[in-house]
């Protein structure tokens, strides 16, 4: 098995690699939440001629080969379809990524004052090393929904002129006891409170600093303290994606798990022209907390959307829907771990993904004795090899970490429940789930090419 460095192989395409990386950096800098991703991707798809499936249904337009539609739900999950020339019963070519990422959500009653400071209570979302989320600039993103139905979008901390927020850390001088603690409790969940102000409101005695913050929120954003109850506000690392490395070969950005796969998947499907198989790209929410709920991969939204699509094609029947789902094949587009020379002990060097070598396939994920893994069928893996080799796409097939080192999962097993072929594949990243994750530009590019090849197959 030969490991090739893609930078040498793609030497003539470096302009395209850089161009795609720049576009990705712009996307991931403006889209840090699932809502922002859905809104952004909807705009892109519309510009590429996609129609809202709801409008298609309302108009009674019949979908034909080449038709492009999207379906979104609650503004947090979206599915794109391009109708193929072959009978849809032969199955769809699906890529599926998630657009939620670990972060600090605000609690329903977040704002309080203590000792002359105003703070926000948070509840972390997804698997994080809590100690990584202190002493760094955070931005507030999200929506506030008022009783009258009005929805207010909030972003504080992204414009260079904006203030940033943050969670304080204990000074090293007084951290003797803290430094002896286990990593999981060095910083505890209940202590992830963000500092947001210190100036008292003029003429107020009780909770004057908190009242001052509320007056700013009321003036600038037109919402009051009770409106926090019906809000989804979240703290994410502030600031744009950056080139990483003296040679600028990598990208450092928040939320690359899994937007570094979502973005190439969407870019691939919006440019698909007259495919043989019907193509589908699913972007789900809530993967980081188990794919649960109405907008997670566990919901019926995907299945319902396929039923609606088939109905708009004049081809719906319950049995045919079952056949479409079973006969489909899917790339579960999610990041994998890049081999990190600082932590060689957690990887089997013969069976891990390396940055700079292209797409990272995981035949199975899971933990310990493959518990919880969705294991791609060998026959399907052979087909994937053929597709990628024919399209001259570079990839590795590996595992996430050493046996007994830990493990992970994706949305693969949920889609596999329909009986379809599913394999995990995505961009290898460093620092997964840390505030700033790192990936190789050449791998992002190669993953885009790989998803394109899969759609065109
Ligand atoms: Mn992921
Ligand atoms: Mn993750």
Q: Which ligand is nearest to the CA of 259?
A: 1
Kindly give the distance from the C-alpha atom of residue 125 to the centroid of ligand 1, in angstroms, as a whole number.
Answer: 13
Task: Write out the two tokens for 350.
Answer: 């013969």
Is residue 2 over pLDDT 80?
A: no
* Predicted pLDDT of residue 1: 59
How many Å lie between the centroid of ligand 2 and the Cα of residue 260? 12
Give the ligand at the shortest distance from the Cα of 99: 1
Rounded distance, CA 398 to CA 380, Å? 15
Of all ligands present, the nearest one to the C-alpha of 412 is 1
Which ligand has the minimum distance to the alpha carbon of residue 103? Answer: 2
pLDDT band of residue 4 (cuts 50, 70, 90) is: confident
CA distances from 356 to 306, 384, 442 (A): 36, 20, 6
393 contacts 354 by C-beta, under 8 angstroms:
no
Q: Out of 218-222, 225-229, 362-366, which region has the weakest mean confidence (pLDDT)?
A: 362-366
Q: What is the pLDDT of residue 408?
A: 85
Q: What distance in Å separates the CA atoms of residue 289 and residue 286, rounded to the nearest whole number? A: 5
Ligand 2 center from residue 101 Cα (angstroms): 7
Q: Would you state the pLDDT for residue 424?
A: 96
pLDDT tens digits along 142-200? 999 999 999 999 999 999 999 999 999 999 999 999 999 999 999 999 999 999 999 99
Q: 128 CA to middle of ligand 2, Å?
A: 9
Residue 214 alpha carbon to ligand 1 centre in Å: 36
Q: Give the integer Cα–Cα distance in Å for 252 and 437.
A: 6
- Return the pLDDT at 415: 95
Average pLDDT of the chain is 97
Q: How many angstroms separate the alpha carbon of residue 257 from the centre of ligand 2?
A: 5
Return the pLDDT at 407: 87
359-415 pLDDT tens trace: 999 999 889 999 989 999 999 999 999 999 999 999 999 999 999 999 888 999 999
Q: How far is the CA of 129 from the centre of ligand 2 (A)?
A: 12
CA distance 448 to 358: 10
58 CA to centre of ligand 2 in angstroms: 37
Give residue 25's Cα distance to chain centre.
14
Which of 298, 277, 279 lies closest to 287, judged by CA? Answer: 298
Q: Which residues contact 181 (CB under 8 A, 6 or more apart)?
A: none
What is the pairing mode between strands 242-244 and 250-253?
Answer: antiparallel
Ligand in closest contact with the CA of 433: 2
Query: Cβ distance 68 to 51 under 8 Å?
Result: yes
Q: Are 436 and 136 in contact (CB under 8 A)?
A: no
Kindly give the pairing relationship between strand 138-145 and strand 231-237. Answer: antiparallel
Separation between Cα atoms, residue 444 and residue 426, nearest integer Å: 9
């Amino acid at each position: 098995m030969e490991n090739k460095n893609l930078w040498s192989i793609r030497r003539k395409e470096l302009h395209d690699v850089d161009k795609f990386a720049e576009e990705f950096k712009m996307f991931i800098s403006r889209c840090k939440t699932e809502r922002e991703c859905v809104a952004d991707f909807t705009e892109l798809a519309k510009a590429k001629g996609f129609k809202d499936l709801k409008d298609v249904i309302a108009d009674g337009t019949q979908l034909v080969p080449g038709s492009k539609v999207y379906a979104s739900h609650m503004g947090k999950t979206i599915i794109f379809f391009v109708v193929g020339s072959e009978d849809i019963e032969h199955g769809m070519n699906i890529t599926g990524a998630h657009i939620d990422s670990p972060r600090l959500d605000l609690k329903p009653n977040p704002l309080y004052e203590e000792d002359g400071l105003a703070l926000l209570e948070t509840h972390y979302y997804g698997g994080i090393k809590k100690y990584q989320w202190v002493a760094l600039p955070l931005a507030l993103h999200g929506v506030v929904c008022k009783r009258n139905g009005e929805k207010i979008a909030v972003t504080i901390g992204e414009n260079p002129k904006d203030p940033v927020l943050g969670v304080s850390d204990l000074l090293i001088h007084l951290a003797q006891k803290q430094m002896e603690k286990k990593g999981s409790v060095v910083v505890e969940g209940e202590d992830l409170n963000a500092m947001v102000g210190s100036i008292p409101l003029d003429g107020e005695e009780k909770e004057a600093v908190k009242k001052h913050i509320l007056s700013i929120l009321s003036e600038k954003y037109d919402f009051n303290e009770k409106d926090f109850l019906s809000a989804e506000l979240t703290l994410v690392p502030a600031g744009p994606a950056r080139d990483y490395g003296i040679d600028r070969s990598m990208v450092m950005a928040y939320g690359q798990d899994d937007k570094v796969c979502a973005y190439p998947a969407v870019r691939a499907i919006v440019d698909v022209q007259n495919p043989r198989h019907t193509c589908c790209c699913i972007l789900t929410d809530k993967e980081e907390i188990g794919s649960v709920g109405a907008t997670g991969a566990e919901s019926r939204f995907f299945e319902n959307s396929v039923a609606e699509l088939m109905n708009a094609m004049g081809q719906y029947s319950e049995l045919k829907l079952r056949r479409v789902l079973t006969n489909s094949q899917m790339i579960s587009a999610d990041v994998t771990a890049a081999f990190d020379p600082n932590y060689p002990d957690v990887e089997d060097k013969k069976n891990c993904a390396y940055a700079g070598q292209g797409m990272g396939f995981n035949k199975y994920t899971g933990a310990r004795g493959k518990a919880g893994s969705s294991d791609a069928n060998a026959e399907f893996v052979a087909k994937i090899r053929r597709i990628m080799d024919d399209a001259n796409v570079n990839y590795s097939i590996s595992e996430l970490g050493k046996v007994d080192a830990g493990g992970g999962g994706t949305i693969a097993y949920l889609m596999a429940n329909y009986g379809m072929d599913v394999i995990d594949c995505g961009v290898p990243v460093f620092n997964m789930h840390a505030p700033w994750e790192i990936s190789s530009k050449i791998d992002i590019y190669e993953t885009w090419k790989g998803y394109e090849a899969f759609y065109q197959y």
